[in-house]
Amino acid sequence: MGSRVPPQRAFGLPLVCTLGLVTVGLLDSVRQNPTLLWSFLGAGATLFAWNAVLFGSALRKGRTLTLEIVLRKQHYLQACAQGSVLLYWGWHWRQVYDSAALIAAQLAFAYAFDMLLSWSRRDTYTLGFGPFPVIFSINLFLWFKPDWFYLQFLMVALGFAAKELIRWDKEGRRAHIFNPSSFPLAVFSLALILTGTSDMTWGKDIANTQFYPPHIYVMLFLIGLPGQFFFGVTSMTMSAVVTTYLFGLAYFAATGTYFFFDSYIPIAVFLGMHLLFTDPSTSPRTELGRIMFGALYGLSTIILYEVLGRANMPTFYDKLLQVPLLNLSINLIDRAARSKALRAFDPASLGRSLAPRQRHLAYMSIWAIVFAVMSAAQGVGDSHPGQWLPFWRQACAQERPDACSYFGDLQSSFCDRGSGWACNELGILQVGRAADRAGALESIQRGCELGFLPACLNATRVTTSPGTLESAPPTLGDYPIVLRGSKGPITERAPSALSALACHEGWPDTCGPVARAGGQ
């Protein structure tokens, strides 16, 4: 529905949103950081000035503006799915909840910016839930730390500007080319990579902590189902997941190690396969095209992860950089899917007698079976062997590709967290693999300072004797650190529970009562 309103009423809406933005800026959590406060004040002042200039122009020209209220299902369903992820993830990583006011401020900014941009170009604005999935999606993958938060507002502005200004003819109608969240994510990711300033963001923490909630893969699978039913995007998600998983299986068969180290499909990538690149407005129209689109997303993620890793750049951008290029390719993909060479492979031809929703259910049923099989095979889930140290210790001993390097990284991380055993083991690895006696001495002395007795003996040996350094099992004091894997911190401290967890993860000599008693 739509209503025609005079400028003085119409421009009250972006003014209210701007006031909401400034109000959030007055919270203690914002005012305590002067840079963050100025980010809010600068964004608010820009919107106020734009509102005033546009309001004055509309009065002089006698414009009558139209406000249409359209509640599109794809917007509120997507927002509900993304909001559920934020709530569940935030329960296990409190930084999300601490940033709730900042997310609300971005929403207020997005509504005001979108209204002002639309009325700057035409007399009609469509009010709905559109900004919600854009803001939620951006914040699921990247947000700037307080000292650089003004860049967050610029990222939001770029997304809405691209949606409004960068358009093409798609099947006889004008439509935006780029997903309004993935486009700014890709542009800012590229800028951060080129300038080496990724530490300005929470990007790495976001990618790591999204695995903290238990059963997060199942949760993402379930919340993706409503959108798959109504909009037919199952084939994109399924083909992306299956492509990446099959590559992971082939890589493991060839090397004996895991390509993504602690998973077949990292949780942030799995999230992107459900809630980032699957926007039906910026994806192919044909079913075969959507399968190709998903497969290309999976393959491009693999390539980007390898390229970024080899270049010593942050790998968490692997699911963000390629989406705009994929958006640009959808017409080409659809033409290829409709070609004589590929038409016979279009799965839509098998279900032409079915109604669209029936076809969606058929694809969802196949996807449910595939996901169940992958879960049973530990292709997705909380218990992937690659997240635990014993696998990499054995892989390093067997000289598997990249195993010793990753094993050393794990030991270094555990040493930094306070495990004397890990510091000692890191020193032994440094002497044996890298012939780095200076680095080894530093690690071993750190282990001694943390109270691991074999490290104290090794501290003398590493400087005075070329003999073998002493290794010993972790103590129960080390277990809460070295058993953690890729999940959140281990809060359990009971010896029996820690020993049982060590046994489950494959630590040598931890599965019998004698081993448990010795560990105490």
DSSP 306-351: HHHHHTT--GGGGGTTTHHHHHHTHHHHHHHHHSHHHHTT-GGGGG
Q: What is the pLDDT of residue 1?
A: 57
* C-alpha distance from residue 62 to each of 8, 48, 54, 65 (Å): 11, 21, 12, 10
Over the stretch 254-303, which tens digit does the pLDDT of each residue have? 999 999 999 999 999 999 999 999 999 899 999 999 999 999 999 999 99
Looking at the chain, the whole-number percentage of residues with pLDDT higher than 90 is 77
Spatial CA neighbour of 356 closest among 239, 264, 230? 230
Q: How confident is the model at residue 438 (pLDDT cuts 50, 70, 90)?
A: confident
Residue 191 has pLDDT above 70, yes or no: yes
Rounded to whole angstroms, how far apart are CA atoms 64 and 205? 48
Q: If 0-12 CB within 10 Å is exposed, 13-18 middle and 19+ buried, where does residue 188 land?
A: buried
Rounded to whole angstroms, how far apart are CA atoms 96 and 85? 11
CB-based burial, 228-241: b 16+ in 10 Å, e otherwise: bbebbbbbbbbbbb
Q: What is the pLDDT of residue 519?
A: 45
How many other C-beta atoms are found inside a 10 Å radius of the C-beta of residue 332?
A: 11
Average pLDDT on 173-200 reads 95
Residue 518 has pLDDT above 60, yes or no: no
Rounded to whole angstroms, how far apart are CA atoms 3 and 126? 11
* CB 318, CB 301: distance < 8 Å: yes
Q: Which helix (H) or strand (E) holds 174?
A: strand 173-176
Q: What is the pLDDT of residue 8?
A: 77
From first CA to last CA, the distance across the chain in angstroms is: 71
Q: What does DSSP say about strands 2-5 and 65-69: parallel, antiparallel, or unpaired? A: antiparallel
Average pLDDT on 117-132 reads 93
Q: How confident is the model at residue 2 (pLDDT cuts 50, 70, 90)?
A: low
Rounded to whole angstroms, how far apart are CA atoms 492 and 275? 33
Q: What is the pLDDT of residue 350?
A: 67
Residue 194 has pLDDT above 70, yes or no: yes
Average pLDDT on 428-455 reads 88
Tell me the CB-side half-sphere exposure of residue 67, using CA atoms within 13 A.
15
Q: Which helix (H) or strand (E) holds 127?
A: strand 124-127
* C-alpha distance from residue 213 to each of 86, 153, 488 (Å): 11, 28, 8
Q: Which helix (H) or strand (E) holds 407?
A: helix 403-416
- Residue 2's beta-bridge partner residues? 68
Residue 513 has pLDDT above 80, yes or no: no
Tokens of 439: 């680095």
pTM: 0.93
Q: Which helix (H) or strand (E) holds 125?
A: strand 124-127
Q: What is the pLDDT of residue 356?
A: 80
Higher pLDDT, 114 or 349: 114
Report the chain's mean pLDDT, rounded to a whole number: 92
Spatial CA neighbour of 510 closest among 485, 484, 481, 475? 475
Average pLDDT on 12-30 reads 94
Looking at the chain, the whole-number percentage of residues with pLDDT higher than 70 is 96
For the chain, the domains span 74-98+129-376, 388-519
- Residue 201's beta-bridge partner residues? 144
Amino acid letter, 154: L
Residue 415 has pLDDT above 90, yes or no: yes
